[in-house]
Amino acid sequence: MSGPLANALRSTQQYINVTAFSREGLTNQLLSSSGEGYSHADAVAAVDSLGRRLEGAGGQVRRQYLDMQGFSCDGLIQQLSSSSGEKFTRAQAKFGAKQAGAC
């Protein structure tokens, strides 16, 4: 394993321990020059290494949003699936909003 990949793996673990990300959101954070600036290959490999653990991150995001303010079912789905929001898929956002009790 290369040094950059090992660092990208460590970064993904740190991010997931602090807050929740969608797959796309975390990948973008790792790629961003204002974030970590990893190569595409290292960022994708690091995010893929999280597997099912990343799928559970949606629950944490939903709780964070609902702890901050109230959302309607549609509002929370929109926020979670928005390209300027959390970037979860629409299906993941619907599932998450239902799990959070917004729907």
Judge if 73 and 84 occupy the same domain: yes
Judge if 50 and 76 occupy the same domain: no
Q: Which domain holds residue 95?
A: 58-99
Give the residue among 16, 31, 21 at the shortest CA–CA distance from 88. Answer: 21
Judge if 42 and 71 occupy the same domain: no
Q: Give the chain's end-to-end CA distance (angstroms, integer).
A: 44
Q: How many domains does the chain have?
A: 2
Judge if 16 and 35 occupy the same domain: yes
Judge if 47 and 63 occupy the same domain: no
Pinpoint the alpha helices (H) of the chain: 3-18, 23-31, 40-48, 52-55, 57-68, 73-81, 90-99
d(CA 95, CA 76): 11
Judge if 27 and 65 occupy the same domain: no
Predicted structure pTM score: 0.64
Give the residue among 42, 35, 24, 32 at the shortest CA–CA distance from 81. Answer: 24
Predicted local confidence at residue 96, as pLDDT? 78
Predicted local confidence at residue 36, as pLDDT? 82
d(CA 45, CA 60): 22
Choosing from 22, 38, 55, the residue where a domain stops is: 55
Predicted local confidence at residue 44, as pLDDT? 94
- What is the per-residue pLDDT across 32-83, written as a single tens digit (0 to 9) for each? 887 789 999 999 999 998 876 666 555 566 666 676 777 888 988 888 888 7
Judge if 95 and 63 occupy the same domain: yes
Q: How many CA atoms, within 13 angstroms, populate the side-chain half-sphere of residue 51?
A: 2
Judge if 16 and 46 occupy the same domain: yes
